[in-house]
């Protein structure tokens, strides 16, 4: 899966760029490279932004325990990738389709890449830019899930892909809102 393949998948109506399906790369190296390394990006960027320009978000935010928050964020990222893979596979089976565990993990990992990369916007102390980039990351994640699910899960209707995407992303957003509440409540 290349950057061009990711872009093609996000913009395609047939999911034509999702080339991980059928290629069967070993799951453990891709899990390590994409998930462990790229999922360290949001916590690292949160830690850096919180300690260097945390007051931009809310007065007093630079005094928060950012190391503990970064560790919690990393744990949530790992759980959300695992949960997204499990949920996508279960929803495929419930809707009469089939998705292997390998394909579910590949979909969960690849769909998160734009969101993880959007956290690089935390390098700039510009709140509107940060919010716009994270929102674009979520939109790209949704597009990858919709088109990737439609490509991987057979038989699959477009409406089923949209419902699965809504369920997976909605669940992830609930978990992230709970993490944000935890961040806001920490002293």
**Taking Cα atoms as reference points, which of 182, 107, 181, 86 lies closest to residue 150?**
107
15 part of a folded domain: no
Q: Can you name the residues that pair with 117 across neighbouring β-strands? A: none
17 part of a folded domain: no
Considering the entire predicted model, what is its pTM? 0.79
54 part of a folded domain: yes
120 part of a folded domain: yes
Please give the Cα distance from 98 to 78 (Å, whole number).
24
Q: pLDDT tens digit string along 109-154?
A: 889 999 999 999 999 988 899 999 999 999 999 999 888 888 888 7
Q: Mean of the pLDDT values across residues 11-40?
A: 62
138 part of a folded domain: yes
- Residue 71: which domain range? 27-185
77 part of a folded domain: yes
For the chain, the domain total comes to 1
**Confidence at 177, pLDDT banded by 50, 70, 90:** confident
DSSP string across the chain: --HHHHHHHHH-SS-TT--STTT---HHHHIIIIIIIHTTHHHHHHHHHHHHHGGGTSTTGGGS-HHHHHHHHHHHHHHHHHHHHHHHHHHHHHTT-B--HHHHHHHHHHHHHHHHHHGGGGGS--HHHHHHHHHHHHHHHHHHHHHHHHHHSBS--HHHHHHHHHHHHHHHHHHHHHHHHHHHH--
45 part of a folded domain: yes
11 part of a folded domain: no
Q: pLDDT tens digit string along 145-161?
A: 888 888 888 767 777 88
């Amino acid at each position: 899966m290349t950057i061009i393949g990711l872009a093609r998948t996000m913009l395609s109506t047939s999911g034509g760029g999702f080339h991980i399906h059928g290629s069967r790369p070993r799951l453990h190296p891709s899990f390590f490279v994409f998930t462990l390394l790229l999922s360290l990006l949001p916590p690292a960027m949160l830690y850096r932004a919180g300690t260097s320009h945390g007051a931009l978000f809310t007065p007093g935010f630079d005094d928060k325990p950012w190391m503990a928050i970064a560790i919690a964020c990393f744990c949530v990222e790992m759980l959300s990738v695992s949960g997204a893979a499990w949920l996508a596979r279960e929803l495929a089976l419930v809707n009469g389709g089939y998705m292997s565990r390998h394909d579910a993990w590949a979909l969960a990992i690849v769909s998160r890449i734009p969101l993880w990369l959007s956290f690089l916007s935390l390098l700039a102390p510009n709140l509107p830019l940060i919010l716009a980039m994270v929102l674009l990351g979520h939109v790209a994640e949704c597009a990858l899930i919709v088109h990737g699910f439609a490509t991987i899960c057979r038989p699959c209707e477009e409406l089923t892909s949209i419902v699965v995407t809504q369920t997976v992303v909605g669940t992830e957003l609930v978990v992230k809102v709970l993490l944000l509440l935890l961040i806001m409540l920490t002293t």
